[in-house]
Amino acid sequence: MSKTQPRVSHDRVKYMWANNLHPLREYSKVYKPLQERLDALQNLKKTLQKYESQILEALQKDLHKHPSESFLTELLQVYEELEFMIKHLPKLMRPQKVKTPLTHFGSRSAIYPQSYGLVLIISPWNYPINLSLIPIIGAIAGGNCVLLKPSEYSTHTSALLVRLISESMPPNLAQVVLGDSKVGESLLREKFDLIFFTGSVPVGKIVMQKAAAHLTPVVLELGGKNPCIITKSADIMSAAKKVVWGKFLNAGQTCIAPDYLLVQECVLEEFIQALKKWIREFFGEDPQQSENFGRIISARHFARIESLMHQSLEYIDSHYDSMRADCLDMSDSKSALQSCINLSNAQSLYVPPTIFSLPRDVEHPLMREEIFAPILPIVSFSEISECLAFSAQLPKPLASYIFTRDSGERAFFLQNFSFGNGCVNDCVVQVANPHLPFGGIGSSGMGSYHGVQSFRTFTHQKSVLENHFEIPLRYPPFRDKLFGVDFKKMCKFFASF
């Protein structure tokens, strides 16, 4: 019985969506002309405008997001991406002429953007509109058919995505399938032409493993331990304001949020006080009562965060003497963590914004994985080279940030730190520029999208050479000399142009 259970489970789950997959698969083989793609994108824009208030309401129910925050971080970026793609798609779809070497005299060369076919997009719960629709925009612009699997945790927004897609696009072009991880596992058994996944590193590994069975190309948008460096030359108040905004946006559930701070020792206390000031300014004395502060998405994720905090307390107790030698106020760090645990509310899924000092130890519980919560540890340093040595012990992050007014520190950061995307003197906002490709490096992801890069990601660049002239020299029988000239030297001569 146990041997057949997975197969039966797969069959039952597959029944929920298999009939809908056939029209998508068949139409994915058909070329979509420019106007059809533009019509789909323009219809999506109109449908978004129609359901704008319902979208903001759904995000508030799922994540306790303020409508203004939801508009800025979700809808506005989608609107910008739509405008960009609608404007530039005619040019992007044209074949790109490239040079042809003299050895191919009489030929013309060009690159034709070709759709992959049927694309599976698996989106997360933390920015459910943004991270579902922006990939869809790129996929449709590239001439593909799309099956979207949104997260089961953002229930209200996922249900609304079904309505948005069904009203804006025909069912043979794009569809949404709802369900839990069993549905996701069932989908990954199927053959797609491209899989686009946004989520955690562990699940990303599973997606890649399943895709390998069909040799399906994958784009993985994951996360990581994003460092944020504050040097003594930085504008402390401005840096603290931007860090508090970027870190505690969406209750810390942002893949490109600063995951930990590296603050120069001589400005450490000043910066901590500035952080506390801006937390009060943004969320009041009691953030739980603030409409501007979000909530953890589910009880499961809340339990993970609570476990991390308890592990951190145990770490402090077991390493107290050695950490005192590092001149860190562990008693204050312990009280900050304990206060966070005491103020957290499992029923309302509330975790308060919390900052505290951390030893320079990559084995600390909060350094072993992406925190993905409104908890911000701070590590002190004396020289910026120490930041590089510390962060290099961790996997390459999705994002990195530095706040400095020193050109040498800026150059050191940009030349030596390896990361997917980032900012100098700001954080998070790089994701909102459609002219910048967005993606990770190493374990923080592979592939990128947004703007032009979205079109390139969702199309294969098909190389074509068109010949109108015959060169007899390539045919046998071969001769060492032609017209008295060495054959090899002649070929090398033409190849040099």
Strand partners, 462: 112
Q: In what order do the strands lie in the sheet with 218-221?
A: 174-176, 145-149, 118-122, 194-198, 218-221, 445-446
Answer for the pair 197, 132: CB distance below 8 angstroms, yes or no.
no
**Residue 215's closest CA among 115, 123, 142, 116?**
116
* Residue among 433, 426, 424, 432 nearest 242 (CA): 426
Helix 407-416 vs helix 384-391: angle between axes, to the nearest 10 degrees? 20
For the chain, give the number of residues.
497
In sequence order, the 6+-apart residues with CB closer than 8 A to the CB of 342 are none
> Contact 111/98 with Cβ under 8 angstroms?
yes
CA distance 484 to 257: 69
Question: Which entry of 255, 340, 387, 427 is annotated as an active-site residue?
Answer: 255
Contact 44, 82 (CB under 8 A): yes
Determine the Cα–Cα distance for residues 9 and 43; give it in Å rounded to an integer: 37
Instruction: Tell me which residue of 211, 66, 69, 47 sits closest to 133, measured CA to CA.
Output: 47
Classify strands 174-176 and 421-424 as parallel, antiparallel or unpaired.
Answer: unpaired
Q: Is residue 466 flagged as an active site residue?
A: no
Residue 384 and residue 233: Cα distance in Å, rounded? Answer: 12
Distance CA 422, CA 414 (A): 9
One of 69, 74, 81, 221 is an active-site residue; which one? 221
Residue 255 among the catalytic residues: yes
- Closest to 97 measured CA to CA, from 83, 118, 115, 111: 111
- Report how far residue 12's alpha carbon sits from residue 375's, in angstroms, rounded to the nearest whole number: 41
- By annotation, the residues acting in catalysis are 221, 255
